[in-house]
Amino acid sequence: MGRSLILFSLLCFSGLVVATSKEIRIVGGKDAADGAYPHQVSLLKRGDHSCGGSIIHSEWVVTAASCVHQQPESSLTVLAGTNRLSGGGTLHRVLASYVHPKYNPDTYDNNVAVLRVQLINFNPKTRKIELERSPVSENEFLMVTGWGFTSSPPTSNPDNLKELGLLTLNTKVCSSLLNRPIPPGQFCTLPSFGEGTCAGDTGGPLTNPYRRLAGVAQAFNYPCGVGLPDVHLEISNYYQWINDQCNCL
């Protein structure tokens, strides 16, 4: 996943997107700069990467409910402080998981969860992220990051963290393109063909230009990168619920 920092700046000032390079895609994508996303974690199930997540406190991580629903905490660990799945960073046991009480595993409504983890010591490559309290706006630029599959059909997760810049999409247009309603508390991004989130990105962060967490990725399109909108959870709708669980915001 990825666009250059130059493109990031242009988008922030102009609100325009120019997607001409075949290199700019999640399928292969661009490696994130080392330490650029210190809030990003990998959620491991029995030692293997499963989902993404974001540090919101030294003992709390936010992710997607679909990543931990009906999973025993003993099978879960969080890898923090590294861009690479194969080395570096620190592992932290998941002590408790709290899935939104109205999470629907069939429709993915309210697809959010918070995890209490072993203490995470902060350093330049390991930090918390603030949560966005304002709603996501149309044509807003967001950066999504993750270790999701980089080919479709998927083969294996990349070792290095990937990034991709996306613009948000009008909800009515998104609903029409997907031929289904977009539930409250969710928003859409429209990647170019060959771009988008994929399995393994779910639960990861969508970060706005203010370096706040605006969304939680939900990578349910298959095959990936075929030009259809991606639908994500909107953090501002769940700020109070998240704080009610962790009392940490």
Q: Rounded to two decimals, what is the model's pTM?
A: 0.87
- As a whole-number percent, the residues of the chain with pLDDT over 70 amount to 86
Among 148, 181, 169, residue whose Cα is nearest residue 228: 169
CB 171 within 8 A of CB 189: no
HSE at residue 186, side-chain half, CA atoms within 13 A, is: 25
Is residue 153 scored above 70 in pLDDT? Answer: no
HSE at residue 113, side-chain half, CA atoms within 13 A, is: 30
> Once rounded to an integer, what is the mean pLDDT over residues 115-142?
98
Kind of pairing, strands 230-234 and 113-117?
A: unpaired
Please give the pLDDT value at position 25.
36
Q: Which domains does the chain have, with CATH numbers?
A: 5-34+129-237 (2.40.10.10), 40-128+239-246 (2.40.10.10)
Mean pLDDT, all residues of the chain: 88
Q: What is the pLDDT of residues 30-75, one digit of tens each?
A: 999 999 999 999 999 999 999 999 999 999 999 999 999 999 999 9
**Neighbouring residues of 88: CB distance < 8 A, sequence distance ≥ 6:** 81, 82
Lowest-confidence segment of 85-99, 115-129, 145-159 by average pLDDT: 145-159
Among 72, 58, 53, residue whose Cα is nearest residue 112: 53
Please give the pLDDT value at position 48.
95
DSSP code, position 127: -
Helix or strand holding residue 44 (H, E): strand 40-45
Q: What is the pLDDT of residues 93-122, one digit of tens each?
A: 999 999 999 999 999 999 999 999 999 999
pLDDT band at 193 (very low <50, low <70, confident <90, very high): confident
Please give the pLDDT value at position 29.
60
pLDDT band at 195 (very low <50, low <70, confident <90, very high): confident
Higher pLDDT among residues 224 and 179, named by residue:
179
Higher pLDDT among residues 136 and 29, named by residue:
136
Q: What is the pLDDT of residues 226-237, one digit of tens each?
A: 889 999 999 999
